[in-house]
Each structure stands twice: as structure tokens, then as C-alpha cells.
Amino acid sequence: MSRIHVIMLAGGSGSRMGMGVNKVLLSLAGKSILRRSMEAFFSFADQMIIVCRPEEMEAIRKEAESPVPPFPILYANGGATRQDSVFSGLSLLTDRLDDIVLIHDAARCLIDSRTIWNVIHSVLRYGNGIASIPVTDTIKTCRSDGLADQTLPRDQLRAAQTPQGFFVGELLQALTAARKDGFIGTDDASVLEHYGKPVHLTEGNAQNIKITVPEDLITAENRLSPCAAPVFRIGQGYDVHALTAGRDLILCGVKIPYEFGLEGHSDADVALHALMDAMLGAASLGDIGRHFPDSDAKYKGISSMLLLEHVVHLLQQRHWAVSNVDLTIVAQKPKLAPYIPDMVRGVSAALSVPEHCVNIKATTTEHLGFEGRMEGISAQAVCLIRRS
């Protein structure tokens, strides 16, 4: 009886995700995207080959093998194209030409058992099987000048998904010929089509989406569980410090020339304190009083920029990263507008985000309240964080 091998393609750069890490390693409702894709095949596969970039091999291996899966795993280096990557994985099966191989994108982590079985059944009956779904949008071909050329008949169109299933020998033969001829297909099935082999389409699932952009993470989280941890979270922070003589006025790490400073255990940077509270709140990590108590002598006079770096590290440990912040400083005096560009530069560097993701503004209270009476300065911050 044919054994079933799964080639899991996990070598994409994830550039459209914009998170600086291979998207298959991102957490999705408590598990990585890679692990979710792997687990979908636990009841079907006899062996899995994970294809990834060499520099990510160790991280992929760690994620794939803990907990230990119910089948052996081999690893292959990804190529310059998807087709090269499939060939790399398939090259490990040259002694299993009569077996079935399923090619699956690791980024399609919502794959369901029924779709997998449909593909396997199609391979056994027709020699290959491609998961696909009907196209619901109207599809038009477009000329180079931007004008519509023709409208394609929707009832004849299908959107191809993965897994795509084949007998090892037949796919290997087609890919070998394609490498020799310099042909590059858009998916695995298109290579067989190029050499005149009929491809059978089988029923896929509309929920079997490919995680490509951050919005797809939100969709996937909601489909996995309405109570799943969100991909984006918002925090709000507020702080106030009294003005006092004999202290430097530090706001967002910038020393402001003024006759008064702010009273506090650290450098009393009220703006950064509000920002840190917003970040900690978004990640459900309490507040700065919990992490940097004023009863601890080691925080006496410390720069709040150093504390901010520590908060960034706390978020990173829990796989959160800052998307953007909006900070308001409330002070009757001094005028802060000339110093805001320096504040933005410093905060963006500390958070490792572009400057356009940091908004800092200053306002007065028209002489109302303690800020208006110049007894103190307050700050409010809102922060959006995302899964990293």
C-alpha cells in the first residue's frame, strides 16, 4: 500500500506580513502557524519533509519537534522558487516513486481533515488531486493599458489551494523535465498541465486561507476561536508629576530648558511613564509601579529611557511588538513644540518603529486645573501592539 508523504513548504520570507520573522513561526491562538499546519496531517501522513531556508532551519526544527509528532520529519533547503523548493523536498523520496506525496503551504494552517482526505482520494482514483474552491468574484483579464480585455465565465473558474497530491514518480518526472526546459509553473499542478497531464480538481474549503498579510491573522484567529487571544491589542496610560525647583525637566528623554523640573523617584519623565503604562496595559502586564517600584533604590534617578527599553523587552518576551503610539503632554508652560521632533526620534528608536508610527503632541489647559496653575504636568498615551 502507498505511503503518504507531506512536503510542508515553510521557506517563505513573509515580507508582506511585515513582522520581520518567518510568518509560519508566528503564534496563532496559542500555537505557531507551522505547528497548526503540521497537526492537520497527523492522522494522514507517514512522513513529513519540511522545506525551509537554511538560516531558519534550527528555529523551524525546534518548533516542529516539540511536542514530538507521530511521524518522522526530514528537512530540506528551500530554493529560489516554490518549484525549486518542492523539487528539493521531493529529491528525498527518489526511492518511494509509487508513494503519494501531498504538497502543502505551511501558511495554510486552517486546512481541514475533509479537504486532505478529498485530495488523497483523488490521487488514488485519478492519479492526482488539487484542492480548489469556486470563484465568487467576477474575473476579468486586463490589457497593458489598464482596460478590461474580457470577462471570464465564472462557472468555469476555480481557485487552487493546497494540499496538492500526486504520485511521487510522476511529479518528480515532471519537475525534472521542467528544470531541464526552464519552465516555471504557478503551482505544482501547472507543471503536470504543461506536459499534457490532466489534473483533477477536488473539493477544498473556503476557510483554507493562506496567511499572507496581518489582516489574515485576525481572520484566522476569529475562525479558530471567538475567544482566541487577539492579534492586536490597545493600551492606555496616564501619569502626572508635580513641578518642583532644582530638577531637570525631562520629557520623552529630551531635556527641556525650564526653571522647574518634575518631582519623582526616577527622572520623572511623565510622558514616558504614561507611554510605558499604555504598553504594559496592552499586554496585560500591570503598570510601571509594579515593575519599577519607587521603594527600590536602584531606580533612584534612573533615566526613563532605560525603563522604556526594559518594557520593550518585556513585550518581546511575550511575542508583542509596538505598532504605533499616540502621546499627549499637558503643560501650561514651557512651550514644547520645538522639542517634539527630538522626542519623536528618541521614542521611535527605543521602540524600533518608524518615526511616522510615533505621534507626540502638547497642549495647555487654558490655565485651568493643576496643569493650568503650573503645579504639575500630566501625560496621556495610547498604544497599539501586535503579535510578533
For residue 235 the three cell numbers come to 493600551
pTM comes to: 0.63
> pLDDT 10s per residue in the chain (388 long)?
679 999 999 987 666 666 667 889 988 878 899 999 999 999 999 999 999 999 999 999 999 998 999 999 999 999 999 999 999 999 999 999 999 999 999 999 999 999 999 999 999 999 999 999 999 889 998 988 888 889 988 888 999 999 999 999 999 999 999 999 999 999 999 999 999 999 999 999 999 999 988 888 878 887 886 555 567 899 999 999 999 999 999 999 999 999 999 999 999 999 999 999 999 999 999 999 999 988 888 889 899 999 999 999 999 888 889 999 999 999 999 999 999 999 999 999 999 999 999 999 999 999 999 999 999 999 999 999 987 6
Contact, 74 vs 48, CB < 8 A?
yes
Any idea what DSSP says for residue 255?
E
Residue 253 burial (10 A CB sphere; 0-12, 13-18, 19+): buried
Domains contained in the chain, CATH given: 4-224 (3.90.550.10), 232-387 (3.30.1330.50)
- Cα dist. 232→148, 282, 293, 374, 386 in Å? 38, 9, 28, 37, 4
For the chain, where are the alpha helices, taking DSSP H only?
Answer: 33-39, 57-64, 82-90, 113-126, 168-181, 188-194, 214-224, 270-282, 288-291, 304-317, 340-351, 369-372
Structural contact between residues 249 and 353, judged by C-beta atoms closer than 8 angstroms: no
Cβ-Cβ contacts under 8 Å for 233 (sequence gap 6 or more):
282, 283, 320, 384, 385
